[in-house]
Amino acid sequence: MRAAAVCWPFRRSVADTLQLALFEPEIPDNAGAIARLCAATGAPLHLIGRLGFSLQHPKAKRSGMDYWEQVEVHRHLTLPDFLQAVKPHPVWMLSTHGERALYDANFAPGAVLLFGPESRGLPADLLRAEPNRVLRIPMRPDARSLNLATAAAVALYEGVRQLGFPG
Residue 57 CA: distances (Å) to CA of 8, 23, 38, 46, 76: 18, 18, 19, 18, 19
Q: What is the mean pLDDT of the chain?
A: 87
Q: Is the peptide bond before 9 cis (omega within 30 degrees of 0)?
A: yes
Q: CB of 118 within 8 A of CB of 25?
A: yes
pLDDT digits (tens, 9 = 90+) for 56-113: 767 665 655 577 788 899 999 999 999 999 999 999 999 999 999 999 999 999 999 9
pLDDT digits (tens, 9 = 90+) for 30-47: 988 999 999 999 999 999
- What gap in Å lies between CA 57 and CA 35, rounded to an integer? 14
- What gap in Å lies between CA 78 and CA 83, rounded to an integer? 9
What fold, for 15-137+144-162? Answer: Alpha/beta knot (3.40.1280)
